[in-house]
Amino acid sequence: MESIEDSAFRLLDWDSAHFGMRIGRVLPNRGDERLFQEASAWADRSSLECMYLLADSDHAATVRLASECGWRMVDVRVTLGAELSRMAKSPAPMRQAYAGDLPYLQELARRSHTDSRFYADGNFPAAACDDLFAAWIERSVLDRGFAGAVLVAELAGNEPAGYVTCSVRHGAGEIGLIAVDPKAHRRGLGTRLLAEAARWCSEQAAERVTVVTQGCNIPALRMYQRCGFTIESLRLWFHWWRGRGHTGSGQ
């Protein structure tokens, strides 16, 4: 018989290496008291400093138990989706990013995603959080297996002013990162980037596209809804840290 540990817990190698500490994840989105007890025991055996849990917001028992067992909610994960046939397409395609864009794209990434759970947690060094998104955009540009396209918006004179990453998996489009340079705010670039991402996904034969953002990011939520996206799910990110609060292990 498969144990809970076999199916419910995963050591996160990339996160552990990036932040310089052992980090794991509890995989089920719903759990009972036994799951939280075994998560605590697994953290001890694996010498973890931190664990992540993404919980269904409508499962009150999981949300309550997480809090009682020393987990802290750090983010509301909002998934929105849209039918591509109903979205406006970009009238003039933007260009694909290339390796020469990376210094600019990485600098923009470092200061554009501060609503994420890593910053909200308060226990991760801010510089490491910045570098996480710089690494994300770098891999998106260099590895087409990670992101199918990185599209760059430009101002007059071919000056880059924003980006969007997108991919198609299992026939559905996914938008990863999107950012607009503060110098170009209020020019509609965010909407244009979304429209171009929709055009690119349509060209890959996708019929739908989804995007994930934070519940606290009201401007992004409003933009997505203006562009035809509707909320499909709400989940809650919880983080557990060693030595901070009750673990639920009975110790």
pLDDT tens digits, one per residue of 176-188:
999 999 988 888 8
- State what percent of residues in the chain have pLDDT above 90: 84
SS3 130: helix
Residue 93 is assigned to a structural domain of this protein: yes
70 with 183, same domain? no
CATH number of the structural domain spanning residue 112: 3.40.630.30
pTM higher than 0.75, yes or no?
yes
* H/E segment holding residue 224: helix 218-226
Average pLDDT estimate for 141-166: 92
- pLDDT for the residue numbered 243: 87
Write out the residue range of the structural domain in which residue 103 sits.
Answer: 88-227
Higher pLDDT residue, 158 or 100? 100
DSSP 8-state symbol, 93: P
69 with 174, same domain? no
What whole-number distance in Å separates Cα of residue 21 and Cα of residue 125?
12
- pLDDT for the residue numbered 80: 97
DSSP 8-state symbol, 85: G
- pLDDT for the residue numbered 1: 29
How far out from the chain centre does Cα 111 lie?
15
46 with 108, same domain? no
Question: Is residue 2 scored above 50 in pLDDT?
Answer: no
Q: What is the mean pLDDT of the chain?
A: 92
10 with 128, same domain? no
14-21: long-range pairs with CB below 8 Å, 24+: 18/128, 18/131, 18/132, 18/135, 19/50, 19/124, 19/125, 19/128, 20/128, 21/49, 21/50
- pLDDT for the residue numbered 143: 95
72 with 117, same domain? no
29 with 102, same domain? no
Q: Provide the domain count of the chain.
A: 2
48 with 148, same domain? no
198 with 117, same domain? yes
Question: Is residue 224 scored above 80 in pLDDT?
Answer: yes
